[in-house]
Amino acid sequence: MSELVQNPPSPSRQYDFGKLARLLLTILILVASIMLISGTIATSTTSTVNPGGTFTAGALILSNSVEGRAPCLSTAGSISCDNLFPGVHQPGSTVSTRVTIKNDGTIVPDSFTLYSSFCRVHDAPGPSHGVGDLCQVTTLTIHDDVHNFCYYPSSTAGPCTASATGSFADFVGRYPATSPLKLSTDHLGSGETFTVTADILPSGGNEYQGRTANIDFTWHITQGG
């Protein structure tokens, strides 16, 4: 009867096997860690966004309405609006008209002014006319109805009083484009109404008959500058 005898591994071989096992385990842990780290880097991202990166320019749009009629709008810069004093008028009879100026734009203006570039006289239609300068003898008043303030011919609170020296010609001379009449801006958003009156001095003689005084009034708003 035979008997098999197995020789136990030597201590050195046991040591090598254990070392190899630990090395393999360390490698597996490192590989798993690298896979875990790699997965985290690949799937985790973040960002910030500023929406609406557009730039829109505001607009100044001046509305001019004479006696409640449909307003004309300065959408293309300067625009010619309704005549303040249409028709034919006799000396000594004051003609009054109301004009409402409003800012219909999206920008609040820094200044609001009024000026005149000219007053020209020419013959009115008809067979007879004089040769007098009607601009010199046509009086003018400009009253701010919202603030109850007279801007012309004198700058004073309350109603305006016409003056022989406060004529169309005088206004052009005192308030050209380079030195305009400064007005209040605080009611432009809702509309600023002015009463403008004109009258031919009764002292005017026949030389003013059949003549027309053509004066321009430019209402102007600015922002900045």
Per-residue pLDDT of 53-103, as tens digits, reads 777 777 888 899 999 889 889 876 678 889 998 888 888 889 999 999 999
Residue 149 lies in a domain: yes
Other C-beta atoms closer than 10 Å to the C-beta of 115 total: 19
Residue 141 lies in a domain: yes
Distance CA 169, CA 117 (A): 10
Residue 13 lies in a domain: no
Distance CA 80, CA 217 (A): 10
* C-beta of residue 121 within 8 angstroms of C-beta of residue 133: yes
Residue 169 lies in a domain: yes
Residue 19 lies in a domain: no
The dihedral formed by the CA atoms of 60, 66, 67 and 68, expressed in degrees to the nearest 10: -40
Its pTM stands at 0.75
Residue 110 lies in a domain: yes
Residue 112 lies in a domain: yes
pLDDT in tens, the chain (225 residues): 334 344 445 555 555 666 666 666 666 666 566 555 555 555 677 887 887 777 777 788 889 999 988 988 987 667 888 999 888 888 888 999 999 999 998 888 999 999 999 999 998 888 878 888 999 999 999 999 999 999 999 999 999 999 999 999 999 999 999 999 999 999 999 999 999 999 998 877 788 888 899 999 999 999 886
Q: Angle at CA 95, nearest 5°, toward 90 and 96?
A: 180
Tokens coding 186: 């605080």
Residue 42 lies in a domain: no
**Amino acid type, 22:** R
Return all residues near 112 (Cβ < 8 A) that are at least 6 apart: 101, 182, 183, 184, 185, 188, 192, 219, 220, 221
Domain count for the chain: 1
Q: Which domain holds residue 123?
A: 62-222
